[in-house]
């Protein structure tokens, strides 16, 4: 039997509805009791990007986290909630996005990720990671992604959500380590990290998804779905189909298909609950595809990088000079000048950490002048 993924409809975030949809979705996969056992410590890993209120759809909604925590409690297991945002603590983000209140209601703990090194001999390309200690100590991990767009990875779904297991600003170093081979190499790292973290379930909050300018300042899209599965790649394959996106346009799936990960193929997935064609979104807005320069082309045409690629720019009218992006940039290529904060596009590796941490939506993606011209001529 291939990987199983369930799709359940859920119109809004009223708790009873969410609990029912999550429970029915997990029941289709065998029930929570088949994934966690009495007494086990279960880490629930939501997406905690930055501290914003739930209606901004930036983080996994508190009702979804609470419903999963309640199901885990009902099995007699011991849930805890943890993630590592790029900046600040998990608790701070949890307070702002409503998850801390849900955790208090159920009497469960929010945990921080203390860094610890771990070897991963099974990794195809990357055999060593630094992850949160609790990620290794937990008996089971349940992955709780938010269905969102992302300027760098196009979408951030179940596989990408495990990137939060790397503590805080250390995430940025992975962008530096993988940048010379382009975004496909970053996806390869995500796949290796996923096989290390190995969550027993991925339950996706796709009730109100984020479209457009993700991951921090996109627009809400009422998708009305909870999508759950035992295999995060299979979950990503199903979500991509629901959004009507060819898998080859989603870098993580493209790399996984090239690397022969079986569960990345939709045909190998057993879809339960709602059929995909009954819940397909026809009007979901994707972010612009990032155009990058790598390898030989970069060494020869590096001086044209700015005009030939898609790169982040700071809108000085929106920028409040909080310095977050400067602190987050692993290449130190953001500086304050007379005209305000600016990015040196020659140095930039397009990791978009600056976009993730900007609390004012002042970082946007822009196409270079030559790239625009080529695209125009192609049309």
Q: How many CB atoms within 10 Å of residue 161?
A: 28
CA separation, residue 122 to residues 2, 26, 115, 136, 205 (Å): 21, 28, 21, 16, 30
* Shortest CB 142 distance to ligand SF4, Å: 30
Number of residues that bind ligand SF4 (CB under 6 A): 28
Q: Should residue 100 be labelled a site residue for ligand SF4 when binding is judged by CB under 6 A?
A: no
Residue closer to ligand SF4 (CB basis): 125 or 336: 336
Helix axes 251-258, 183-197, angle to 10 degrees: 80
CA 177 to chain centre: 19
Residue closer to ligand SF4 (CB basis): 266 or 342: 342
Binding ligand SF4 (rule: CB under 6 A), the pick from 80, 237, 243, 329 is: 329
Residue closer to ligand SF4 (CB basis): 6 or 183: 183
Reduced to 3 states (helix: H, G, I; strand: E, B; else coil), residue 17 is helix
* Shortest CB 310 distance to ligand SF4, Å: 11
Residue closer to ligand SF4 (CB basis): 168 or 229: 168
Q: Is 375 exposed, middle or buried (0-12, 13-18, 19+ CB in 10 A)?
A: exposed
* Shortest CB 338 distance to ligand SF4, Å: 15
* Shortest CB 175 distance to ligand SF4, Å: 6
User: Which residue bears the tokens 């991990």?
Assistant: 141
* Shortest CB 325 distance to ligand SF4, Å: 3
Contact between 195 and 127 under an 8 Å Cβ cutoff? The reply is no
Binding piece for ligand SF4, criterion CB under 6 A, among 97-105, 254-262, 295-303, 325-333: 325-333
| Nearest residue to 41 via CA among 78, 4, 10 | 78
Contact between 334 and 325 under an 8 Å Cβ cutoff? The reply is yes
* Shortest CB 318 distance to ligand SF4, Å: 7
Q: Which residues contact 199 (CB under 8 A, 6 or more apart)?
A: 45, 140, 141, 142, 143, 162, 232
* Shortest CB 348 distance to ligand SF4, Å: 3
Residue closer to ligand SF4 (CB basis): 122 or 335: 335
| Nearest residue to 25 via CA among 245, 229, 224 | 229
Q: Which of the residues 331 through 370 are near ligand SF4 (CB under 6 A)?
A: 331, 333-334, 341, 343, 348-354, 357-358, 360, 362-363
Residue closer to ligand SF4 (CB basis): 206 or 218: 218
Handedness of CA 351, 367, 211, 242 (dihedral sign): negative
* Shortest CB 355 distance to ligand SF4, Å: 7
Both structure tokens of 57: 């759809």
Q: Should residue 321 be labelled a site residue for ligand SF4 when binding is judged by CB under 6 A?
A: yes
Phi then psi dihedrals of residue 372, to 5 deg? -60, -45
* Shortest CB 39 distance to ligand SF4, Å: 43
Q: Which of the residues 261 through 320 are near ligand SF4 (CB under 6 A)?
A: 312, 314, 319-320
Binding track over 191-230 against ligand SF4, x by CB under 6 A: ----------------------------------------
| Nearest residue to 217 via CA among 53, 56, 46, 55 | 56
Size of the chain in residues: 379
Residue closer to ligand SF4 (CB basis): 116 or 169: 169
Handedness of CA 173, 89, 191, 134 (dihedral sign): positive
In the complex, the residues that contact ligand SF4 under the rule CB under 6 A are: 312, 314, 319-325, 328-329, 331, 333-334, 341, 343, 348-354, 357-358, 360, 362-363
């Amino acid at each position: 039997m291939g990987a199983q993924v369930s799709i359940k409809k859920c119109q809004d975030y009223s708790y009873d509805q969410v609990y029912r949809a999550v429970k029915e979705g997990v029941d289709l996969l065998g029930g929570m009791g088949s994934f966690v056992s009495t007494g086990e410590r279960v880490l629930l890993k939501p997406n905690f990007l930055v501290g914003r209120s739930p209606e901004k759809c930036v983080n996994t909604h508190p009702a979804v986290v609470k419903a999963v925590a309640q199901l885990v409690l009902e099995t007699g297991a011991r849930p805890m909630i943890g993630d590592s945002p790029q900046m600040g603590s998990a608790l701070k983000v949890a307070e702002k996005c409503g998850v801390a209140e849900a955790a208090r209601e159920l009497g469960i703990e929010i945990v921080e990720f203390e860094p610890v090194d771990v070897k991963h001999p099974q990794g195809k390309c990357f055999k060593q990671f630094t992850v949160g200690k609790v990620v290794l100590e937990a008996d089971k991990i349940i992955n709780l992604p938010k269905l969102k767009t992302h300027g760098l990875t196009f979408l951030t779904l179940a596989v990408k959500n495990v990137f939060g297991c790397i503590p805080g600003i250390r995430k940025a170093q992975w962008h530096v380590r993988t940048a010379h081979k382009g975004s496909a190499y970053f996806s390869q790292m995500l796949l290796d990290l996923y096989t290390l973290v190995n969550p027993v379930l991925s339950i996706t909050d796709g009730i109100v998804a984020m479209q457009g300018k993700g991951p921090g300042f996109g627009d809400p899209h009422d998708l009305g779905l909870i999508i759950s599965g035992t295999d995060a790649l299979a979950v990503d394959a199903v979500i991509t189909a629901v959004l009507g996106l060819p898998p080859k346009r989603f870098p993580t799936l493209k790399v996984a298909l090239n690397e022969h990960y079986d569960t990345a193929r939709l045909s190998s997935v057993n879809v339960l609950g709602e059929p995909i064609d009954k819940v397909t979104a026809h009007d979901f807005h994707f972010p612009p595809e990032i155009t990058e320069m790598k390898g030989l082309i970069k060494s020869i045409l590096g001086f044209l990088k700015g005009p030939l690629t898609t790169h982040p720019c700071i809108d000085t009218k929106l920028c409040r000079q909080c310095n977050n992006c400067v602190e987050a940039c692993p290449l130190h290529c953001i500086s304050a000048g007379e005209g305000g904060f600016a990015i040196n596009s020659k140095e930039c590796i397009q990791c978009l950490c600056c976009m993730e941490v900007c609390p004012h939506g002042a970082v946007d993606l822009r196409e270079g002048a030559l790239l625009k011209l080529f695209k125009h001529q192609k049309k």
